[in-house]
Homo-oligomer: A and B are copies of this chain.
């Protein structure tokens, strides 16, 4: 890809976590396929978690398998622990996103172990992944900008966690604002610090729009050199284990912002809006958000 900015759709993972509607596997396949046609090169397509915890992802293996066949798509999957990581490897995953919360309390609530244990599992997963060809393990740092259980998160702790992930050999570090506490100045500060600390490892940003600051935060991160952003079509999303979490920053609006600035994302906005309209028909009971859609 030669796009300046890469927007990674996480609607099929983060977007499905909080909603009650159950998407059929065939609908997920259609969603991925259509969004790839609109120009998306990266999508987080599922999560390898126990189905009794998040039944939306019962079909993780099947969805990943289908997504892996699509030309032009690098599908990633989220895993909360080593067991999920092994399942993902077994299912042929080529990009595995391992999540650790900077907040000890949120890590316990979200993945049910200490952060120390999470780091041990990440280390083992990276070792195991090296036995496969072309697998990259990326690290997501949840609650990097604050936690609704634990409160403030010290920036130096986020930097420390990012350094640990870098030393273990992750291929990318994604700072996630799980609840929506980031602001443009904290975004610039933390990404600048982490860039200095981890050198050339690509950084990505994952914002929620709880306070309406999602796009302002993306712009702020872009200003300090971040070019990889997560977002959800229709502004779906939220963590079921983070009280107060609301939707992710909206994909259409994110593409629209970069388009208006003349910065290439590789996405055809007209086609993307068609996918968004399809999403409305697939999830008729869900309230979708966004501004750009109102102008089409």
Residues in A lying within 8 Å of B, measured CB to CB: 181, 183-186, 209-213, 215-216, 218-220, 244, 246, 250, 253, 256-257, 260-262, 290-292, 294-295
State A210–B290 Cα separation when bound (angstroms).
Answer: 10
For A211, list chain B residues within 8 Å (CB): 253, 256-257, 260, 291-292, 295
Tell me how far the C-beta of A28 lies from the nearest C-beta in chain B, rounded to whole angstroms.
Answer: 26
| Copies of this chain in the oligomer | 2
* Residue of A186, A210, A213, A290 with highest tally of chain B CB at under 10 A: A213
Instruction: Decide: B295 and A244 in contact? CB cutoff 8 A.
Output: yes
Given contacts A246-B294, A294-B246, contact A257 B213 (CB under 8 A): yes
Tell me how far the C-beta of A292 lies from the nearest C-beta in chain B, rounded to whole angstroms.
Answer: 6
Tell me how far the C-beta of A190 lies from the nearest C-beta in chain B, rounded to whole angstroms.
Answer: 13
Tell me how far the C-beta of A143 lies from the nearest C-beta in chain B, rounded to whole angstroms.
Answer: 16
State A184–B217 Cα separation when bound (angstroms).
Answer: 11
For A244, list chain B residues within 8 Å (CB): 295
State A220–B185 Cα separation when bound (angstroms).
Answer: 11
Instruction: Decide: B183 and A213 in contact? CB cutoff 8 A.
Output: no
For A295, list chain B residues within 8 Å (CB): 210-211, 244
Could you jot down 25 A-B contacts, CB within 8 Å? A181-B260, A183-B257, A183-B261, A184-B219, A185-B262, A186-B260, A186-B261, A210-B291, A211-B253, A211-B256, A211-B291, A211-B292, A211-B295, A212-B250, A212-B253, A212-B257, A212-B290, A213-B215, A213-B253, A213-B260, A215-B215, A216-B218, A216-B257, A219-B219, A246-B294
State A261–B186 Cα separation when bound (angstroms).
Answer: 7
Question: Beyond A210-B295, A244-B295: 19 further Cβ-contacts under 8 Å?
Answer: A184-B219, A184-B257, A209-B291, A210-B291, A210-B294, A211-B253, A211-B256, A211-B295, A212-B215, A212-B257, A212-B291, A213-B215, A213-B253, A213-B260, A215-B215, A216-B218, A216-B257, A219-B219, A219-B220
